[in-house]
Amino acid sequence: MIIQLIPPDIPRFWEAIKFACKKVDEVDEKHMPSYMNEMLVALLNGDAQCFARISDDRKELQALVVTKVLHNAQFDEKYLYVQCLYSWEIVEDDVWQRDIDFIKDYAKREGCKYIGAMSRNKRAQDIMQMIGFKEYTRVYALRLGE
């Protein structure tokens, strides 16, 4: 079952959220403290959301999704950005489909026109495509030195 954590739930799940984000989000270690601080503040004040898949008996955390409602200036519309998606176990496709249906309902209630995500992780890409995401663009960067 998937649930949306509310801000008072965040401290209880913070270690798991940090673990998942460190595994998934490609953040340089030197930037990790400020990145995690910003994420914690955003989750606590409601600027970011965390969805958790938990076992039916509510004893086991199975997956986490961290999102933010953002504005796409090009199209002048709100969208739900998936910042982090992490699963502690492999599950059937229908489980991921139920998860995204729950998150889609949230996005619609927030007035979002679409859900967006970026990932270089092949398994995450496969899951996104399986649940209906389409590749819209590719992101390139030219680093200008460190």
- Is residue 144 included in any domain, yes or no? no
Model confidence, pTM: 0.89
Residue 139 resides in a domain = no
Q: What is the pLDDT of residues 73-130, one digit of tens each?
A: 999 999 999 999 999 988 898 999 999 999 999 999 999 999 999 888 888 888 889 9
State how far the Cα of 133 lies from the Cα of 23, in Å rounded to an integer.
22
| CA neighbor of 4 nearest in space, from 40, 42, 50 | 50
Is the pLDDT at 146 greater than 70? The verdict is no
pLDDT at 145 over 90: no
Would 142 be classed as within a structural domain?
no
Residues 140 and 78: their CA atoms lie apart, in Å, by 23
Are 17 and 50 contacting, i.e. CB atoms less than 8 angstroms apart? Answer: yes
Check which CATH number belongs to the domain holding 66 and give it.
3.40.630.30
pLDDT band at residue 137 using 50, 70 and 90 as cut-offs:
confident
- Tell me: pLDDT of 38 over 90: yes
Number of folded domains that form the chain: 1
Residue 146 lies in a domain: no
Residue 136 within any structural domain of the chain: no
Q: What is the mean pLDDT of residues 6-18?
A: 95
Q: Identify whether 138 is part of a domain.
A: no
Instruction: Indicate whether 104 belongs to any domain.
Output: yes
Per DSSP, the three-state class of 81 is strand
Is 103 among the domain residues? yes
Which residues span the domain enclosing 117? Answer: 2-130
Is residue 10's pLDDT more than 90?
yes
